[in-house]
Amino acid sequence: MMKYMKRLALLLVPMFALPLVQAQSLPEGDGKRLVEEVCTGCHGLDAVVSTHETKEGWQAIVDYMVSRGATAKDEDLKTIVEYLAKNFPKEAKKIGAK
């Protein structure tokens, strides 16, 4: 009986994990592949998709990551910043929000 329960668990885990993987997928666009390759060398996509910044803010974050060891060509870093600024912009404050 235990043998069959282990097999069932191995089959069910991927089914429940799939939505988590999909939830962290990036929008299509120029720079997606670079973000996946460069940024996930140190952290998961959740760190990217949960952050929203201006272009200047993303530039500062990317510069900081480079200072911590992220490597890419200058033109690729520019593409990454543009992709992140376009797809994960800083949200405007709502009127009356605190």
User: Using an 8 Å Cβ cutoff, are 91 and 54 in contact?
Assistant: no
Spell out the CATH class of 26-87: mainly alpha
Least confident of 8-17, 55-64, 80-89: 8-17
Instruction: Outline where DSSP puts E strands in 1-98.
Output: none
What percentage of the chain reaches a pLDDT higher than 90?
66
Mean pLDDT, the chain, integer: 82
For the chain, the domains span: 26-87
What is the reported pTM?
0.70
Q: What pLDDT score was predicted for residue 16?
A: 44
Q: What pLDDT score was predicted for residue 25?
A: 87
Q: What pLDDT score was predicted for residue 3?
A: 53
Question: pLDDT tens digit string along 31-45?
Answer: 999 999 999 999 999
φ/ψ of 91, rounded to 5, equals -75, 135
Confidence of residue 21 (pLDDT cuts 50, 70, 90): very low
How far apart are alpha carbons 44 and 27 in whole angstroms? Answer: 15
